[in-house]
Amino acid sequence: MSPQELAELVVDRSPRGIAATIARLVHTGDLLPGDRLPTVRQLAVALGVSPATVGSAWQTLAAAGLVISRGRAGTSVLPGPAARLPPRYRDLADVPAARLDLAAGTPDPELLPDLSPALTRLATRGLGAHATGYLDDPVVPGLERLLRSSWPFVPQRLTVVDGAVDALSRVLEQVVGFGGRVAVEDPGFPPVLDLLDHLGLERVPVTLDASGPRPDALAEAVRSGVRVVVLQPRAQNPTGISITPTRARELAAVLRPAAGELWVLEDDHSGEVASSRDVSLGTLLADRVVHVRSYSKSHGPDLRIAAVGGPAVVLDGLVARRMLGPGWTSRLLQHVLVDLLTDAQAVEAVAHARRIYHGRRRTLSAALARHGVQVPPGDGINMWVPVADERAALVRLEAAGVRVARGRPFFSDPARAHGFVRVTVGVLRPDDVETVAAALAAAAAP
């Protein structure tokens, strides 16, 4: 945009007015990240103001994080905050705000256990008052005992890391090298797809049916030379599908002939708020399965704790690598989690959340059925709703004041994605069910 073109858009020629005009152009997309702005002197001449006036406007814009000045290289527009997000995360975030936000995929804050009593008890007992050693065990003993007593198989090693995606990243770095092939569910969790791209790994999509990944699709992926199979055993995001015990045996039968050459990485992201059984291939494929359990949806995303259990050859390398980075997950937060896992009131709060999520899924599923849209209730906090045209569905839902996640970023090949939207029912209140069901049914229509 030339100095004269920009000057014609400025009504208020004060520093604040000039800055406001530039900001508006950035927010509307008329000025894009990387676009060069006129020099202070050029715009001052075009506006008929002093260079100091334009310079003051530039300083205001820089302080707001909208532009950056590089001396003789000039001033240019900075990328917006969404640029910090990986591509599929960015696609999920690029949805207009609405009265009902059912897009985020996060748990209901009102159903998380209260941390205050746990923090008070820890302060009373003096935990965290003394520094721990850098070389102490990465998992506090009380938490390791609780994890071992509830793990779906007997792991050689257990540790904790900073959330499920952190766990997946660190395990993948241990078991597959750059360019390796990884089997992933299709549709799957967008951040995992972004992670594989970031690590230079080739995605091999595995389609799903009502019981989990299809054995024939997994067999084809194995024949293609995959080194890792990434599964969500229950409450699969986005579909809500859980692997049945029968399907687990079928998948294990496919993998067993090649078990010595590949790894299975299980992401139990919903953990204790999932209603389905904690089915794991770890009971069927000894020493080749790494299981991840997140406590974000059940006990709070800000705890940033996920447990990882599996073979020593993987977990020992993972722990050693973390010593060259964060070292360990906060032992103070680990003690908080131990308290929440053993306190009767906190345990009941999680059980209550599990029942509420179960009820919300079934209630919306029934309401959709009354409008002629058949969607299984599934498990977890999300539902996967088919639509005739994804773009049209999002526009219709936006007009109805409902925000959902577009389906495209959940597929390995977005260009071949067919119409779906993901609805986070975990935050859906009873009074809004009929409104949302009607809006979704209207949006799903051709």
Q: In this structure, what token pair is assigned to residue 286?
A: 């000894």
Least confident of 93-97, 124-128, 219-223, 312-316: 93-97
Q: Are strands 157-161 and 181-186 parallel, antiparallel or unpaired?
A: unpaired
Q: What is the pLDDT of residues 393-402, one digit of tens each?
A: 998 998 999 9
- CA dist 291 and 277 (Å) reads 14
Task: Tally Cβ neighbours within 10 Å of residue 446.
Answer: 7
Task: Tally Cβ neighbours within 10 Å of residue 42.
Answer: 17
- CA dist 344 and 280 (Å) reads 27
Examine the pLDDT at 55 and tell me if it is beyond 70: yes
Examine the pLDDT at 83 and tell me if it is beyond 80: no
Percent residues over pLDDT 90 in the chain: 76
pLDDT grade, residue 93 (50/70/90)?
A: low
pLDDT grade, residue 260 (50/70/90)?
A: confident
Q: What is the pLDDT of residue 131?
A: 64
- Sheet with 181-186: list strands edge to edge: 157-161, 306-310, 289-294, 263-268, 228-231, 181-186, 202-209, 212-213
Nearest to 269 by CA among 241, 302, 233: 233
pLDDT grade, residue 90 (50/70/90)?
A: low
pLDDT grade, residue 428 (50/70/90)?
A: very high
Q: What is the pLDDT of residue 435?
A: 95
Q: Provide the whole-model pTM.
A: 0.82
Q: What is the pLDDT of residue 378?
A: 97
The Cα angle at residue 304 between residues 301 and 309, in degrees rounded to 5: 120
Q: What is the pLDDT of residue 32?
A: 85
- CA dist 195 and 88 (Å) reads 10
pLDDT grade, residue 34 (50/70/90)?
A: confident
pLDDT grade, residue 129 (50/70/90)?
A: low
CB–CB of 309/139 below 8 Å?
Answer: no
Q: Are strands 306-310 and 289-294 parallel, antiparallel or unpaired?
A: antiparallel
Q: What is the pLDDT of residues 233-252, one digit of tens each?
A: 999 999 999 999 999 999 99
Examine the pLDDT at 63 and tell me if it is beyond 90: no
Q: What is the pLDDT of residue 28?
A: 76
Across the chain, what does the average pLDDT equal?
92
Percent residues over pLDDT 70 in the chain: 95
Least confident of 13-17, 29-33, 86-90, 374-378: 86-90
Q: Are strands 228-231 and 212-213 parallel, antiparallel or unpaired?
A: unpaired
Nearest to 364 by CA among 420, 429, 274, 410: 429
Q: What is the SS3 assignment for 437?
A: helix
Examine the pLDDT at 126 and tell me if it is beyond 80: no
Cis omega (within 30 of 0) for bond into 187: yes
- CA dist 405 and 257 (Å) reads 39
Q: In this structure, what token pair is assigned to residue 226?
A: 């995959």
Residue-range domains of the chain with CATH: 3-80 (1.10.10.10), 84-111+346-444 (3.90.1150.10), 133-336 (3.40.640.10)
DSSP code, position 206: E
Q: Which tops the pLDDT comparison, 122 or 247?
A: 247
Residues 6+ away with beta carbon under 8 Å from 290: 171, 175, 263, 264, 265, 266, 308, 309, 310, 311, 314, 315
Q: Which tops the pLDDT comparison, 82 or 445?
A: 445
Q: H or E stretch including 101?
A: strand 100-101
- CA dist 415 and 275 (Å) reads 33
Examine the pLDDT at 222 and tell me if it is beyond 60: yes
Task: Tally Cβ neighbours within 10 Å of residue 47.
Answer: 21
